[in-house]
Amino acid sequence: MAKSNLELLTGLTDSHTVEFLNNQRVHREVEKPLKAMTDEAAKEGYQLQVCSGYRSFQRQCEIWNEKVTGKRPILDSHNLPISQKGLTEEEIIYAILRWSALPATSRHHWGTDLDIIDASKLGPNTTVQLIAEEFEVGGPFFDLHDWLDKNMSRFGFFRPYSTDRGGVSPERWHLSYAPLAETYLAELTEELVVGVLKKSNLELKKSVLAVLPQIFQRFILNIDFP
Q: Taking 70 as the threshold, does the pLDDT of residue 59 lie above it?
A: yes
Is 3-220 assigned to CATH 3.40.190.10?
Answer: no
Q: Taking 90 as the threshold, does the pLDDT of residue 195 lie above it?
A: yes
Distance, CA of 87 to CA of 68 (rounded, Å): 12
User: pLDDT tens across 65-80, in order?
Assistant: 999 999 999 999 888 9
Question: In the chain, where are the structural domains located?
Answer: 3-220
Distance, CA of 68 to CA of 142 (rounded, Å): 32
Instruction: Name 75's bridge partners.
Output: 81
User: Which of the four pLDDT bands, split at 50, 70 and 90, describes residue 64?
Assistant: very high
User: pLDDT tens across 142-179, in order?
Assistant: 999 999 999 999 999 999 999 999 999 999 999 999 99
Q: Taking 80 as the threshold, does the pLDDT of residue 2 lie above it?
A: no
pLDDT at position 4 is 67
| H-only helix segments in the chain | 3-10, 28-43, 57-68, 89-97, 142-151, 178-187, 190-198, 205-210, 212-215
Residue 29's Cβ-count burial label (10 Å; 0-12, 13-18, 19+) is middle
